[in-house]
Structure 1
């Protein structure tokens, strides 16, 4: 029994729906860029009188809005980072827990596969869902940016930004996957995972608002994949270290927990 292909086939409808939704949201946001860019001087003056906390929150210091990438950095924290992370939570939380919720786990575990193979197959399938989702959305993003741009932009920075988002989504999925593998009540996996995701997102917001809370940024993946920072300065070494630890650790813990878990059938 090929668990990977079976799961990918039954989850593709969800991937397609979420992809279409995000592409539509993306088009809506970027389509207003030309009118936004035409008021660059007004926006610059507006930024100077805005509360410093707001400007710092979105890394808007000295940003040139005539460059569409900077506009992308500002709005992507909502429609790419946050909405994409919600989808990642759904993918991760349902991956293992779905079998218990739908009462198909007994059938699955009677197949000639062990639990480690089940976890590895489902984790790989979850990554595939996110890659399909992010690749399609990123390509549509590139197309939309080229349609509405007022001047040329750095495609290298564009792809670095998207790399940071793909890895962020995989990390959020990994955490949700671990939650789904651990809970004895699998129906709670999504709500708990979503709560964890929002806490991590809020920690990143708080870390930007005051220097006293800046240390919080080291404990949330959202700070390592912050759109404005990545487009402005690229990826830091800490980005690689953080994700190289978080994602494998989540998978390893999922393997350990699920292999010993008492599953109700």
Structure 2
């Protein structure tokens, strides 16, 4: 419990900054809906070639509707939350070596398994707070600008899919932090993989010929068009994604248990 509370306290300032940042992202993004929903803007988008709309993140969404506009805005929110998660995951071990607090941690009468569990739980709380802030701000801002049907259900589905993506990158960052000899490099490597996954998601948006690459990008595990259409999330993909998170978490325990800690 002491390690858990210590982690929450250590990440408190960063959590506030990330939460405020993502709130401002939602606020500024949703504030543009009025311009996108105008008839003239809709006509401009309809004239655009699909490749350009794919690069902009519009794709086949009707951004003149609130559900379509939120689907267009969502990837920018998602990658922001994913960056927070992957950096958080990579720092839960690395920061002990960076701050030279490993010796202090190891003299506590707790096992390495207990330490990792406490750190994971604290990181999970941080991820959940960011997700809840995003959910509440998204629903409130959508209600403020929406002139059509309520989209709270679609927003909740989007944010649940984002939560799973956050967990994947959180556990991925933790694996790198536990397995790399120099844990301090785990953040940059994990962030590099995250951006690689995002690039893959953009490439597959441009052409269906390389859709097989979607398996390499958590950003493409869930079909945003299905959510907009009210079909929710694919249960099979949810189960597989959670299984991936569990595997990555178990690998973190395994590597950390065998790690020669730098004191």
Q: TM-score range by the shorter chain?
A: over 0.9
Q: In structure 2, what is the equivalent of residue 45 of structure 1?
A: 43
CA contact (8 A) 1:160 1:235 kept: yes
Which of 126, 129, 133 is residue 129 of structure 1 equivalent to?
Answer: 126
Match of 1:178 in 2: 175
Instruction: Decide whether the 8 Å contact of 2:168 with 2:244 is kept in 1.
Output: yes
**Residues 1-265 of structure 1: matches in 2 within 5 Å?**
2-39=2-39, 42-56=40-54, 58=57, 60-61=59-60, 63-78=61-76, 80-225=77-222, 227-232=224-229, 233-265=231-263
TM-score by length of 1: 0.92
Confirm or deny: 8 A CA contact 1:74 1:228 kept in the other structure: no
Quote the Cα distance in structure 2 between the aligned partners of 1:228 and 1:262: 47
User: Is the 8 Å Cα contact of residues 94 and 190 (structure 1) preserved in structure 2?
Assistant: yes
Q: Is the 8 A contact 2:89 2:171 kept in 1?
A: yes
For residue 228 of structure 1, report the CA deviation from its aligned partner: 4.4
TM-score, length of structure 2 as denominator length: 0.92
Gaps in structure 1 of 5+ consecutive residues? none
Q: CA deviation at 1:255?
A: 0.5
Aligned 8 A contact 1:160 1:230 in 2 = yes
Counterparts of 2:149 and 2:227 in 1: how far apart (Å)?
A: 19
Deviations 1:210-233 (A, max 9, x none): 222110112221101454443334
Out of 47-56 and 201-210, give the one that drifted further. 47-56
Q: Per the alignment, in what secondary structure is the counterpart of residue 184 of structure 1?
A: coil
CA deviations over 1:184-219 (Å, ceiling 9, x no partner): 112111111100111111122222222221101122
Structure 1 residues 196 and 185, CA, compared in 2 at 3 Å: closer, same or farther?
same
CA distance in 2: counterparts of 1:98 and 1:21, whole angstroms? 23
Distance in structure 2 (CA, Å) of the matches to 1:4 and 1:226: 35
After superposition, the Cα gap between the structure-2 partners of 1:64 and 1:51, relative to the gap in structure 1 and judged at 3 Å, is closer
Gaps of 5+ in 2: none
The two structures, once aligned, show a CA RMSD in angstroms of: 1.8
Give the SS at the match of 1:264. coil
Q: Which moved more, 1:242-251 or 1:232-241?
A: 232-241
Cα distance change of structure 1 residues 255 and 195 upon mapping to structure 2, 3 Å threshold: same
